[in-house]
Amino acid sequence: MATAFSGPAVVQSFDFDQKVAPFISYKQHVEQGFEEEKVSVKRASSDVLRELFRLFGVALRCLFIAAFSITLTGPIAAQSLKEQLDKIQEVLPGNSYTKYSPALAVQSWEMAATVAHIQKPMSCKTAKIIDTKVTAVKEKVIFTSKRKLKQGHWLEIWTFDKCGKRVRVQAEFRADGKGTADGDFSVAK
């Protein structure tokens, strides 16, 4: 049995511009947004890579400092005080008060070298200490017979050679009451 439909046949007109054009326009807008997102993702990726390379350089410098510290502190533990001081004299030129305490010398060198390494030229990966100089004594510096810092407050300039460029680091030391000193290190003016 066939189904019969009764009633007038309604033919609706289909307006392309009204129905499809907004969809195409929206689609183009979305695709353009995706392209912009791709560009910003690429830009962000290159920024991340640049930061990773910078951090890698910092990590390499830290390894260099650690290696220096190990060469200075590793054998020192088994050496006599005189041998320790002689070794520090070889490695740390100039008249720095930190030479009187092996622990203070190592701590200070690490901090000063870190400040020197982050100076220009950034492409240079080495910074060699070439001089230390006491520039001011604000409180008399006194070490115990066991080379522990008893009292003192003074300023020094540490000069590094960084691929032919001299980098000067200012250090301000204050006795910390624990046999060593707190130090503030910054680029010298």
CA distance 142 to 154: 11
- Kindly give the confidence (pLDDT) of every residue in the chain, 189 residues in length, as a single tens digit, with 9 standing for 90 and above: 454 444 444 444 545 555 555 556 666 666 666 666 665 666 666 666 676 666 666 665 655 555 555 554 444 445 676 787 778 878 889 999 998 888 888 889 889 988 988 887 888 888 889 999 999 999 999 998 888 899 999 999 999 999 999 999 999 999 999 988 999 999 998
Locate the domains of the chain by residue range: 48-187
**End-to-end Cα separation, the chain, in angstroms:** 104
- Using a cut of 0.85, tell me whether the model's pTM lies above it: no
